[in-house]
Structure 1
Amino acid sequence: MSKDHEGPTIISSLFGADFLGRPFMRQTVMIPWFYLEARVRYGKEFVGEMFMVSSFDALKDILKIQHESFRVRSIQYVTPGFVNETGQWKMEPLLEASEAINQQGERVPLFKVPDRTYSHLGVNTDVNLKRVSILFPAVKRQRE
């Protein structure tokens, strides 16, 4: 999905040398992805870290490994314009990530954001899905 670039090759007189010396991420395919904020323990302190996650399977793996020293605090669902039907990239807070089973018996990921629910590469319109698991948010816990 992406590549880390230690020394970007942006050639332009519009940007100063400081900008050109910074690493950047580049999205090379037009697929939805997840932007996670997590609390991670380093020694005795907790720090915030951001993760760009490219697939639902990777998101499930990350959510499974949470423990007292690593906790996902929030997730943004990032979609290209053809998925969110706006014509441009959109970042929306993920309220719930779950799996359901459709009428063909296939597992279907569902991503609930404030105004709609996404499934695969589009807005979910199937009303006959049976939810089998809720992956995020996890069981409500006391404020950290």
Structure 2
Amino acid sequence: MFDESLTHWHMISHSFQTHWYHVDLKIRHEDRMISSVEMLKDESKLVEILTQQGSDFVVTCVQVTTPSWMNKSGQWLMEKLIGVSVGFDKNNFAVCVLEVVSGSIYTDAHDPSVTVESLTKIRKIY
């Protein structure tokens, strides 16, 4: 049923130690819904996908892949995402806050003094 021509990529290079999103979708193709996956580089792309949802385009699961410096596990992790917010630190730099199903909360701030509680103008996007 599926052949090599349906593959859109064979390898991805990711030079930065930053998180990214793995989004499972159902997309209408003619008279049926087919599964698809999008790998998104940032929150703006996530918002773009989420706002496209309708009866012909449905997000079924969002996972986040985090580098070890964010998740403190010593390795990259992919976890089911339950929430994403964006706020601003004391220098007015945007900081992403990720909430995963295990209950862990990660930020993409490299400054250890930045905490969720220290952020201002927090806006939930997922």
Alignment TM class, shorter chain as reference: 0.7 to 0.9
By relative contact order (CA 8 Å, sep 6+), the higher-ranking structure is 2
The answer as to whether partners of 1:96 and 1:134 remain within 8 angstroms in 2 is yes
More divergent stretch after superposition (30-39 vs 115-124): 115-124
1:90 lines up with 2:77 in the alignment? yes
Letter in 2 for 1:127: E
Tell me the TM-score normalised to structure 1 length.
Answer: 0.66
Moved over 6 A (4+): none
Query: Percent identity, aligned pairs only?
Result: 23
2:13 maps to 27
Q: Give ranges in structure 2 of 5+ residues lacking alignment.
A: none
- Cα drift, residue 101 of structure 1: 4.5
TM-score normalised by structure 2 residue count = 0.74
Please tell me the root mean square deviation across aligned C-alpha atoms, in Å.
2.5
Residue type of the alignment partner of 2:38: F
Q: How far apart are 1:91 and its partner, in Å?
A: 0.4
Tell me how many residue pairs correspond in the alignment: 115
Q: Are residues 91 and 73 of structure 1, via their aligned partners in 2, closer, same or farther at CA, if it must alter by over 3 Å? A: same
Post-superposition offset of 1:63: 1.3
Residues 35, 52 of structure 1: 8 Å contact kept: yes
Distance in 1, matches of 2:88 and 2:68, equals 26
